[in-house]
Amino acid sequence: MSDDAELVRIAEQLCAVPPADFTAARTAAASDTSDRGVAAAVAKLRKPVLAAWVVNVLARERGDLLASVLGIAEQLREALEAGDAAELKALTAQRRATLRALVDAAVDVASSHDVAVSAAARGGVERTLDAALRDPDAAAAVSTGRLLRPLEASGMEAPDLTDAVAGPFAPAASAPPSDELAERRAAREAERAAREAARVADAADRDLARAEERRATARAAVARLEERLEDLDAERERIRGAVQDARDAADAADAAHRDARTAAGRARAAAERASLD
C-alpha cells in the first residue's frame, strides 16, 4: 500500500471517530503505523469540526443514500446547459426536498453515536450538503468522508475546498464523465430532443388544422358564390324573357294604336262628308 493510500485509509477512520475521542484515536493510529512518514502525517491531521464530522459519518455509514442523491448536481447542470426551464424547476424543487431529507438523515446518524447536533452545526451540515448538491468538486469532497470543515456554495461561485479534506484530495471536476454519467447525459439529451421534436410536431399539427379550417371556409365561400351566380344567371334569363314579352306586347299595342288612329280618321272624314250633304 502506498503512503498516500495508507494516509487516506487512516484519515477516513479518524474523521468518523466521535469528536471527543479524536485526539486519542489519532495518537493511537500514528503509533500503530510502521511508516514514519505516514505516522508524522497522521499526527498532523486536524480534528473535523462537528458539522464536518456529521457529514463524514453520513458518508461512511449511509454512503448509498449520499451517492444516490449527489447525481442531482450533475442533472441540474445538464438542465441549465440545455436551457430546459421546466426540468430545471423540477430538479430545483427535488434538490430542496432531498437536502432536507439528507440533513435529517445525517442528524439521525450522529444521534446513533450519542452525539448531539446543535442548531449551528445543523446549519453547517445543511450548507455542506447543499454545496455537494450544487458542485461536483464539493460532492467529491463530501464523498471522501474526510471533511475537516463545512463547505458553502453561493450563487455560481465554486466552493472553497482549501484545507477542507484530510489527506490527499484531487477535485473531480476535470475528470471525464463516467460511462453511467455519459449514458444518463445522452439519455437526457435524447429526451430533450424528443420533447423539442414533439413540440415542433404539435405546432405543425396546429398550423395544419388552422390551414385546413381556412381552406374549408374559403371553399364554402366559393360554393355559396357559385350558387348565387347560378341564381343570378337564371334570374337574368327570366328577366330577358319578360323583356321580350314586354317588347312584343308594346309592338302589338303600337299596331293596334295605328289601326285605331286610321279608323278614327276615316270615321271623322265620313262624318264631315255627311254634314255637308
Instruction: For residue 216, tell me if it sits in a domain.
Output: no
Instruction: For residue 203, tell me if it sits in a domain.
Output: no
Q: Could you read off the pLDDT of 69-79 as tens digits, one per residue? A: 777 767 776 77
Give the pLDDT of residue 13.
Answer: 94
Give the pLDDT of residue 174.
Answer: 45
Give the pLDDT of residue 180.
Answer: 55
Q: Which among 75, 62, 73 has a CA at the least distance from the CA of 101?
A: 62
Q: Which residues of 191-223 are buried (b: 16+ CB within 10 A; e: fewer)?
A: ebeeeeeeeeeeeeeeeeeeeeeeeeeeeeeee
Give the pLDDT of residue 245.
Answer: 85
pTM over 0.85: no
Give the pLDDT of residue 183.
Answer: 67
> How many domains is the chain partitioned into structurally?
1
Instruction: For residue 73, tell me if it sits in a domain.
Output: yes
The residues of the chain scoring below 70 in pLDDT are 1-2, 73, 77, 81, 155-156, 172-189, 192, 195
Instruction: For residue 241, tell me if it sits in a domain.
Output: no
Which structural domain range is residue 54 located in?
3-175
Give the pLDDT of residue 40.
Answer: 93
